[in-house]
Structure 1
Amino acid sequence: MSITFDGLASGLNTQDIISKLLQVEQAPINRLNQRKLDIQKERDAWKDLGTRLQNLSSALSALLQRSTVVGFTVRPSDSNAPFTASAGPQAVAGTYSIQIQQLATATTLRGGSAIGLDIDLLAPLKDANFRSPLTSGTFSINGVAISVDAAQDSLLDVITRINTSGAGVIASVVTVDGRTRLQLQAATPGGPLQIGAIGDTSNFLSVTSLLGAPRTGDTVVGTRSLTAVKTTVPLAQAMLATPVSGSGTLTINGVAISYDPSVDSLATILNRINASNAGVTASYDSVTDRIVLTAKTTGSLAITVSDTGNLATALGLVSGQLQLGQNAVYSLDGGSTWQYSTSNTVTDAIPGVTMTFTRTTSSPYAFTVEPNTDSAVAAVRKFVDQFNSVLSFIADKTAYDAATKTAGTLMGDSAVRTIEATLRRLVTSPAINAGGGYRTLADIGISFGRVGSPVGTTNQLQLDEDKLRAALRENPNAVFELFGATSRATLTTPGDIARVAGTPRPPASGRYVVSSDGAGNLTASFYDTANQLLWSASGTIAAGGTNNTLIPGLTLTAASSLTGATSEITVVQQEGILTQLDRYLDGILGWDGLVRARGNAFEQQLRGIDQQIDRFQQRLDDRKAQLVRQFATLERMLAEIQAQGTQLQGQIIKMLGA
């Protein structure tokens, strides 16, 4: 970095002089920077326009879905409907009634016996296989404290201690559902049965499930069996009544589930079943110590179980109780004819309506299926708003304010005006060969205003909601055709092509002639309605196979054998108004569309300006360096002259003094 000092010899402000000399040469850079700012504003405006056009495209895409426009709703006759229901676009409006005699239920296979070892009455309590560890201490019955030592006492010891305690109860064991439970009975009819006290130090009453158990007459019975299988340890250690002898494969409904008793716990096996495709939910009922398999689907469908080992036997499934599920039974004609379904969700009772039964009825229940215009109106309103957003933006950016003499950022941009004109033309033009009774958006209440509207009031789309709802109620399918009709392709002459599906692109009327050589080579030729050949292409197809590239937009399916027969496909052009608009937006918003092209052009211009600025700046820097050198040389020369003058002056003074 160089250091300069202003006019030490000359007294001139050289930096100011240099700055003013460079101002003229700075002018081109200033003009380029201003041009750069203008281009950046245009680029940002186009980016904003692209976003609004994309939002418009998204808004109209919903209206190209039949389910949005052709909507129905199921209206029950009261707030206590015996079903939930939804209606699709294929529903038929009308009044219906349904009587539900029976709901569908799922098949269950319940283990035929408890699977864990029963209680050992003579073993010490800590080793007797209780559900949970039993602690020593005291527990109370009718206010009498009874001691228990888990390490020394057996269950029979405790029973004897209760019966001799004077508590006024008789303790005994009973068998419920194949397993032992503890029972307490008042010693006298109507005698007290107060079980437990706040000061108890042993958990005996809770482990035996007596604490909180209900009194029935003079008896209280534990609510659960005293024992239960251990679910989280390997099966070999799970205290099963029937030990699993070795590894094997459990097969449920044809789905194999492997097991290894030395590794797998009961919880692991149940989770493995539930994660499989066996179609059942496996669970462990800890109250009764049994395995339960429940079908994931309803209806009278059996559950089958087999095993290469003895796990199925150990889990009680071989001797299990199979309870077949019920089928749903319902009637649409007041009970004259009954229909049956394995599921409570029925899709074929009423066309286009899905019903899920929630309760039975003793008599027919009335309901209606009627058009639902709300979703369609909301979608149209969103489309109109987005369309007007685009128009407002274009109007703002292309306007000229005469008062301030300020032009909008995109004023004079013909491409923007073309977009605006095209959008207006497309939404006011009629649909092409659309079925139904509507030809233009104005027919259903979407227009730029009525004929004769005051100037300045027809710049944006307007929605007559009442007119739109009336059209949707009268003929929703015709409204959808007005919006989203697409060209139809029909296989009028089958040959080596057996089926055709899709929408041809472009959507012009005419016919495709598909020639075949019988060896899989095809040639497609398109003729317009005047029978002029406009297009042809070649491709291949296998017998019974498909081709979706030969004719854009169509999938061709070949016959099972190829004979060389020619096929003909007739195309009838149909295009809804929004179909045309959607195709236009796809074009200008696509990868090689106008919006992206303009954005790329702006970026290219900005790069070019930056390069010009860099060149001008380099020249300016070089000029500044040159001026600095020149003024430095001037200062040096003046300093030398001043020094010489001072020296001469000194010599003259000496001479005069002499």
Structure 2
Amino acid sequence: MGINSMQLLTQMMGGIDTNSIIQQLDYINRQAIYQPGGLNDQLSKIQQQQTDWRNVNNSALTLQNLLQTLASSTTFGSFTATPADTTILSASAGTGAAPGTYTINVTGIGSNATLTSGGRIGQLISGTDSVTATKFSAAITTGNFAVTKGGQTQYIAVNSTDTIQDVLNRISSAFGGTVSGTVNGSGQIVITTTDNQQMTFGSAGDTSNFAHVLGLDVAQQSGSGPYTYTTTAQGQVQLGQAVGSAAANFGTAVTSTTTGDFKINNIDITYDTTKDSLSVILNRINTSNAGVTASYDPINDKVILTSKSSQPVTVQDVTGNLMHALQLDTASGAVSTAGSNWTFSVNGTLMTSVSSAVTNVIPGVTVNLLKTGQTTLTISSNTSQAVTAVQNFVSQFNSLYNMIGNLIGKDGDLQGDATLASFQANIRDAVTGPITQTMDNSGNTVPLPNYPQNSLMGIGISTGAIGSPVGTTNSLTVDTNKLTAALQQNPAMVRDLITGMALKLNQVLTNMTGMVNTLNGSSVNVSQLTGISTSQDQLYQNMIKDLQDQIQQVNDMADQQKQLLIAQFTAMNEAISQSHMQGNALLGFLGH
């Protein structure tokens, strides 16, 4: 029965507030849930504590991940290369570079070897070619273009149905037969006059680009009257078309194959004539390890392979004939230009290099020779990267440490939690205590060498100055000046100390998070390893479920009791109503 029914019941009961009675009794039945310290309060408290533990675990995971950066050889083995004169050379230093200042004298700038197509690789034009053919440097547009002869300008029409010869004949007709034009066997347009009047082709107002695309606007004039105008050879390979298609316009047809391949400097490169365009293949060469840069010369319609060194470029067709079609093989008359070596000295020792990039002189350093001249190159430890990594670690450590302190301290959600208190003490000891082991470059745990320092305090990482007031040394601090000085003087010691600390701290964090961090770039979560936080989370989960079950039981019993009360009051009301009816009937019988 709803609230309206209970109100009706109240009215029927002659003014007795049954609704209020039922509500008060219902509240008493649910008091275990809502009273201060009851089941609801207990549930909220446990849920908050579970959230607090999860926050601690997440913060510990973040700190654990930062340990990989700290243990990385690149963090503390990074170097900078600084040339005094950046116009003579540039340089970069990697892990394991040899610190010092080097005098480098560049005495000769070499050159890269090249291999160039022996001739034009596209099919040459002929007079019978349509103006819409796909063999030009650009698509020819229809419209008109200007031709001027002896001060007289005629506008020559170009239609989509025209051949090249049709347009040349139209020029001849426009000037009364004093001009003739043909396409010779070398793919050149040749226009001659029969008089002493000079000619120009094209203007800014042209609506067709015929004169520009076919090179008439820059045709070479010869003779002193009559005159001859000759363009460069026309007809180009089409870079964007599949190399096996007719639309690619190769002078030598490319053998159709879906598994073509060739070698450049003995590096194998594959292609599919039905899909790959010349543009795609040139890019594939450039991204390979062939040691060349491939480019296309649109003026001369040739491919050029430029070596990244002075060593000659070698090519070979393995399957298919693409290198032959590009005229890059010996049989096609490819032009090979020899390169020359770079010459220089380092601290007075004369050396040569086949490339401008010198990698085998100063350990761990690449030097790029730019021009002749002498300068110095200083290789020094990159302290800023290491200092930043340490500062990031310290910041996250303090965040975790102080979070735990607030939770287990007075009025904290987890006040007096012995497990967290122990964890807090353990991570502090791992960071501030003596270090006896470290990790080599292969990831193996080895004894710490006999360094002047065996703790982080000696390199500027501590909980504050000795003698600091109680309560002021709860956080780690970094003396960046001291840390930088240690990195400059002995980077290996700093790296080993911090890696040794990371080994200790990582074990403590693993016990908490369950994540096994190898500190060599791979972190894995081992399902068999259950961290403290996982066990604690499951414990809270069980407690939460138990409280939720208790709340449900109380509510179920209260609901049943409420329905019982409503039924009882309803029955009482019906009895009272029946009694009234009987009384009224008796009074009527007695004549009242």
TM band (smaller chain):
0.7 to 0.9
Matched with 2:549 is 611
Check if 1:225 corresponds to 2:240.
Answer: no
Shift of 1:399: 2.9
Matched with 1:86 is 92
Tell me, yes or no, if the aligned pair for 1:98 and 1:366 is still in contact at 8 Å.
yes
Check if 1:52 corresponds to 2:59.
Answer: yes
Closer, same or farther: CA 322–460 of 1 in aligned 2, 3 Å: same
Q: Distance in 2 between matches of 1:651 and 1:451?
A: 108
Matched with 2:467 is 452
Matched with 1:289 is 301
Matched with 2:517 is none
Matched with 1:564 is none
SS at match of 2:366: strand
Tell me, yes or no, if the aligned pair for 1:18 and 1:627 is still in contact at 8 Å.
yes
Matched with 1:26 is 30
Tell me, yes or no, if the aligned pair for 1:82 and 1:358 is still in contact at 8 Å.
yes
Please give the per-residue CA displacement for 1:515-551, whole angstroms capped at 9, x wherever unaligned: xxxxxxxxxxxxxxxxxxxxxxxxxxxxxxxxxxxxx
SS at match of 2:570: helix
Closer, same or farther: CA 278–77 of 1 in aligned 2, 3 Å: closer
Q: Distance in 2 between matches of 1:293 and 1:315?
A: 10
The aligned runs of 1:335-484 (5 Å cut-off) are: 336-341=349-354, 343-355=355-367, 357=368, 359=370, 361-400=371-410, 407-432=411-436, 433-435=447-449, 436-484=451-499
Check if 1:35 corresponds to 2:42.
Answer: yes
Matched with 1:550 is none
Check if 1:586 corresponds to 2:589.
Answer: no
Shift of 1:244: 6.4
Tell me, yes or no, if the aligned pair for 1:483 and 1:578 is still in contact at 8 Å.
yes
Shift of 1:227: 2.6
Shift of 1:283: 5.4
Q: Distance in 2 between matches of 1:220 and 1:47?
A: 89
Shift of 1:38: 0.3
Tell me, yes or no, if the aligned pair for 1:112 and 1:319 is still in contact at 8 Å.
yes
Shift of 1:210: 3.2
SS at match of 2:97: coil
Check if 1:598 corresponds to 2:536.
Answer: yes
Shift of 1:482: 0.6
Please give the per-residue CA displacement for 1:188-219, whole angstroms capped at 9, x wherever unaligned: 8xx98765334445544213223367999999
Tell me, yes or no, if the aligned pair for 1:120 and 1:128 is still in contact at 8 Å.
no
Tell me, yes or no, if the aligned pair for 1:115 and 1:314 is still in contact at 8 Å.
yes
Q: Distance in 2 between matches of 1:23 and 1:155?
A: 103
SS at match of 1:98: strand
Matched with 1:641 is 579
1:209 pairs with one of 201, 215, 222: 215
SS at match of 1:114: coil
Q: Distance in 1 between matches of 2:402 and 2:276?
A: 69
Closer, same or farther: CA 644–464 of 1 in aligned 2, 3 Å: same
Q: Distance in 2 between matches of 1:220 and 1:97?
A: 61
Q: Distance in 2 between matches of 1:127 and 1:642?
A: 111
Closer, same or farther: CA 595–184 of 1 in aligned 2, 3 Å: farther
Shift of 1:135: 4.4
Please give the per-residue CA displacement for 1:223-262, whole angstroms capped at 9, x wherever unaligned: 75233345637555766555568879674446486877xx
Shift of 1:582: 1.3
Amino acid at match of 2:551: I
More deviation in 412-421 or 628-637?
628-637
Closer, same or farther: CA 604–217 of 1 in aligned 2, 3 Å: farther
Tell me, yes or no, if the aligned pair for 2:144 and 2:156 is still in contact at 8 Å.
yes
Shift of 1:304: 2.7
Matched with 1:560 is none
Tell me, yes or no, if the aligned pair for 2:144 and 2:207 is still in contact at 8 Å.
yes
Shift of 1:349: 1.8
Check if 1:63 corresponds to 2:77.
Answer: no
Amino acid at match of 1:581: L
SS at match of 2:430: helix
SS at match of 2:30: helix
Amino acid at match of 1:6: L
Q: Distance in 1 between matches of 2:44 and 2:109?
A: 76
SS at match of 2:353: strand
TM-score normalised by length of structure 1: 0.71
Tell me, yes or no, if the aligned pair for 2:215 and 2:231 is still in contact at 8 Å.
yes
Amino acid at match of 1:331: F
Q: Distance in 2 between matches of 1:583 and 1:186?
A: 97
1:305 pairs with one of 316, 319, 331: 316
Matched with 1:323 is 336
Matched with 1:114 is 120
Please give the per-residue CA displacement for 1:122-174, whole angstroms capped at 9, x wherever unaligned: x58759997244747451326522354664855764675688789xxx99889
Q: Distance in 1 between matches of 2:545 and 2:585?
A: 60
Unaligned runs of 5+ residues in structure 1 are 401-406, 485-575
Identical counterparts, % of pairs? 27
Unaligned runs of 5+ residues in structure 2 are 437-446, 515-528
Shift of 1:364: 2.3
TM-score normalised by length of structure 2: 0.78
Closer, same or farther: CA 259–425 of 1 in aligned 2, 3 Å: closer
Closer, same or farther: CA 58–337 of 1 in aligned 2, 3 Å: same
Tell me, yes or no, if the aligned pair for 1:210 and 1:220 is still in contact at 8 Å.
no
Amino acid at match of 1:65: S
Shift of 1:13: 1.1
SS at match of 1:6: helix
Q: Distance in 2 between matches of 1:311 and 1:161?
A: 44
Shift of 1:26: 1.4
Q: Distance in 2 between matches of 1:587 and 1:325?
A: 64
Q: Distance in 2 between matches of 1:98 and 1:423?
A: 49
SS at match of 2:300: coil
Tell me, yes or no, if the aligned pair for 1:139 and 1:203 is still in contact at 8 Å.
no
Greater share of helix: 2
Amino acid at match of 2:559: D
Q: Distance in 2 between matches of 1:217 and 1:471?
A: 81
Q: Distance in 2 between matches of 1:324 and 1:93?
A: 39
More deviation in 61-70 or 208-217?
208-217
Closer, same or farther: CA 220–578 of 1 in aligned 2, 3 Å: farther
More deviation in 233-242 or 27-36?
233-242
Q: Distance in 1 between matches of 2:588 and 2:205?
A: 123
Closer, same or farther: CA 257–397 of 1 in aligned 2, 3 Å: closer
Q: Distance in 1 between matches of 2:100 and 2:504?
A: 34
Amino acid at match of 2:83: P
Shift of 1:444: 1.0
Higher relative CO (Cα under 8 Å, sequence separation at least 6) belongs to 2
SS at match of 1:225: coil
SS at match of 2:105: strand
More deviation in 216-225 or 407-416?
216-225
Closer, same or farther: CA 282–139 of 1 in aligned 2, 3 Å: same
Amino acid at match of 1:37: S
